[in-house]
Amino acid sequence: MFRIQPGFIDYLILACYLAFVIGIGFSLKRTVRTSADFFLSGRSIPAWITGLAFLSANLGAQEVMGMAASGAKYGIATSHFYWVGAIPAMVFVGVYMMPFYYGSRARSVPEYLKLRFDEKTRCFNAVSFAAMTVFSSGISLYAMGLLLAALLGWDFHASILLSAFIVLCYIFLGGLTSAIYNEVLQFFLIVAGFLPLVFLGLKDVGGWQKLVDRLKDVAVSQGFAAGAFTDSWRHLGDSSRNPMGIEWFGMLMGLGFVLSFGYWCTDFLVVQRAMAANSMAAARRTPLIAAVPKMLFPVIVILPGMIAIALTGSQGPGGFHLPPKPDGALNYDMTIPLMLGHYFPPGMLGLGLTALLASFMSGMAGNVTAFNTVWTYDIYQSYIRRNASDSHYLWMGRMATVFGIIASILAAYLATRFNNIMDFLQLVFAFVNAPLFATFLLGMFWKRATGHGAFSGLVCGTVAAALHHGLSLPKGAEAGIKGGWLGAWTAYPSEMAQNFWTAIWAWLVCFLVTILASLFSKPSPEDRLKGLVYTLTEKPPEEDLRWYQRPAPLGAVILGLALLLNIIFW
């Protein structure tokens, strides 16, 4: 296995960063006096900071390493996770959904479900969401342990424990505010650390046109259409012609609608950042501000993977190549770490490793802060100890941070079963976010939806995801965590194709069951639904705002830019 030898300057940069992030936690500890300060930053953060944190909380190690791995495995089709699978949903949550979240004064997404529906719906979502954050945090831990073990030769288990301890320190001390300010710092570090990698990789491969030519050879050698790695839409008419193994309907419905809107509109991990904003207007602009750099991030996180697979297929002058795993499959997860070690000299290597460490911190901290809030408010306060003092709930939030990280360590070892951590992450989202989005869509825009309907839909949608996953299996996989544990009745060309269709079935079943069960149960009085349903909610005033400060015009401009990118790389 390839090893790198960081110099003194590299370790010094890493040490300075770690000291700085822990220092932020210590400096903010004195400002955390109440549970609202710890879990929601007292709703006092300006929009530009919450906007960058909204983006950076999603820019974890699974995003940076996973998207680069997907870029190598699937090519430019991975950009759909941004231009189709993120931007439209981010605009939707800013324009339509934040008024419900922020205006209801709910402290979490499950608490909004209680206000809109009932207690059992909130309980089901709180438990499933808490489990999802643990898995997502575990993926971040696995990614960092993989990095430190493979590149630096550190012990994998010790690397996981060290990384978890660092995150524990600054979240335990400063809560959500500490996470948000560290996420802003991490955003700039990630850009500064990975952008030079793109330029050096492109130089090695011979420029953009040479990259396109080499990727045509790679696509043909794998049995796909010549442009499958460089055309985002052209080869989605037939699932056998593209490496993702998906057709246009599965892409649009599975990723562009169900998984995308299910994540960005209902995942408390990102919604929590917007809810920390200092006003309704700032909360609505938060996802729109985040959408602008989000459109450009494929250059930083997907293009390196495309470069890596092109050089592996026919080595460039630098001799870079991806190594195989013991089972013979390429180790796509090592794309970014190996490129850092291959291309970066001392000093710059320290910056790149720090950027990768920052992405890990960002993703894990986001999941941990979401977990401790949902656990404390929606599980502990609701079902275990209802009438304790605020200081007790602040204490419980800190304890939840501790045992949430311990659970994440255990989850990290499940991620070792996948050769692309993004495949694992999307599987988790298909089980939790896909049916939840159907519940939110009906709850916010159909006043007839009831608590019995929402609960029945969520349960049936989750069961549908489990049944589809248990009856299907990706090509070449063995029955187990990748599916097929009820019998492999359906085979998919890739794990990602299986994930998209799992999400589609989960959403569809939840949507239909919620409607049917709601029609057979008693509706809630309209006066109880004010501020919770679109037609019964007063629209926020915008007369005193300029056009670029109004969510709808700003969102339209962002959607136009995303459409333009899809056309350019069609």
Q: Please give the pLDDT value at position 324.
A: 78
Calpha distance 162→43 (Å, rounded): 31
Q: Which of the residue ranges 15-29, 61-75, 243-257, 316-330 would you say has the lowest mean pLDDT?
A: 316-330
- Give pLDDT tens digits for 528-552: 888 888 888 777 776 577 776 788 8
Calpha distance 408→287 (Å, rounded): 27
Q: Which of the residue ranges 166-175, 201-210, 220-229, 410-419 would you say has the lowest mean pLDDT?
A: 410-419
* The pLDDT of residue 45 is above 60: yes
Alpha helices (H) along 206-322: 208-221, 248-249, 260-266, 268-275, 280-296, 298-301, 303-313
Tokens coding 345: 């000299």
**Residue 324 located in a structural domain:** yes
**What's the rounded mean pLDDT across residues 20-35?**
82
* The pLDDT of residue 559 is above 90: yes
Cα angle value 324/215/335 (rounded, 5°): 35
Instruction: Work out how many domains the chain is built from and give that number.
Output: 1
Q: Please give the pLDDT value at position 28.
A: 80
| Average pLDDT for the chain | 84
**What's the rounded mean pLDDT across residues 305-309?**
91
**What's the rounded mean pLDDT across residues 133-149?**
77
Q: Please give the pLDDT value at position 56.
A: 82
Closest CA to 55 of 281, 235, 292, 227: 292
More confidently predicted of 538 and 561: 561
- Give pLDDT tens digits for 336-362: 888 888 888 888 888 888 887 787 777
* The pLDDT of residue 176 is above 90: no
Q: Are 54 and 91 in contact (CB under 8 A)?
A: no
40, 196, 460 from 3: Cα distances, Å: 42, 21, 48
Confidence bin at 463 (pLDDT 50/70/90): very high
Calpha distance 485→488 (Å, rounded): 7
Closest CA to 40 of 91, 88, 89, 111: 111
**Residue 520 located in a structural domain:** no
Closest CA to 412 of 167, 170, 161: 161
Strand, helix or coil for residue 483: strand
More confidently predicted of 521 and 494: 521
**Residue 77 located in a structural domain:** yes
Calpha distance 518→513 (Å, rounded): 8
Q: Please give the pLDDT value at position 110.
A: 86
Confidence bin at 422 (pLDDT 50/70/90): low
Calpha distance 310→417 (Å, rounded): 25
Q: Please give the pLDDT value at position 416.
A: 61
**Residue 56 located in a structural domain:** yes
More confidently predicted of 8 and 563: 563
Q: Are 86 and 264 in contact (CB under 8 A)?
A: yes
1, 66, 204 from 316: Cα distances, Å: 20, 24, 6
Q: How many other C-beta atoms lie within 10 A of the C-beta of residue 523?
A: 14
Bridge partner list, 452: none
* The pLDDT of residue 328 is above 60: yes
Confidence bin at 466 (pLDDT 50/70/90): very high
Calpha distance 17→407 (Å, rounded): 26
Q: Please give the pLDDT value at position 439.
A: 93
**Residue 514 located in a structural domain:** no
Calpha distance 266→271 (Å, rounded): 7
Q: Please give the pLDDT value at position 495.
A: 83
Closest CA to 64 of 472, 468, 360, 469: 360
Express as a percent the part of the chain with pLDDT over 70. 94
Domain that holds residue 354: 8-426+546-568
Express as a percent the part of the chain with pLDDT over 90. 22
Return the top range by mean pLDDT from 204-218, 418-432, 449-463: 449-463
* The pLDDT of residue 206 is above 60: yes
Instruction: For residue 388, give the CATH number of its domain.
Output: 1.20.1730.10
Closest CA to 438 of 552, 529, 518: 518
More confidently predicted of 377 and 479: 377
Tokens coding 541: 């005033």
Calpha distance 482→485 (Å, rounded): 9
Q: Please give the pLDDT value at position 520.
A: 93
**What's the rounded mean pLDDT across residues 169-174?**
82
Calpha distance 426→255 (Å, rounded): 9
Confidence bin at 61 (pLDDT 50/70/90): low
Q: Please give the pLDDT value at position 418.
A: 55
Q: Are 28 and 181 in contact (CB under 8 A)?
A: yes
Confidence bin at 435 (pLDDT 50/70/90): very high
**Residue 372 located in a structural domain:** yes
**Residue 534 located in a structural domain:** no
Token look-up 């320190």 returns 169
Give me the long-range contacts of 217-224 (CB less than 8 A, separation at least 24): 217/313, 217/314, 218/309, 218/310, 218/313, 219/75, 219/243, 221/313
* The pLDDT of residue 293 is above 60: yes
Contacts of 564 (CB under 8 A, 6+ apart): none
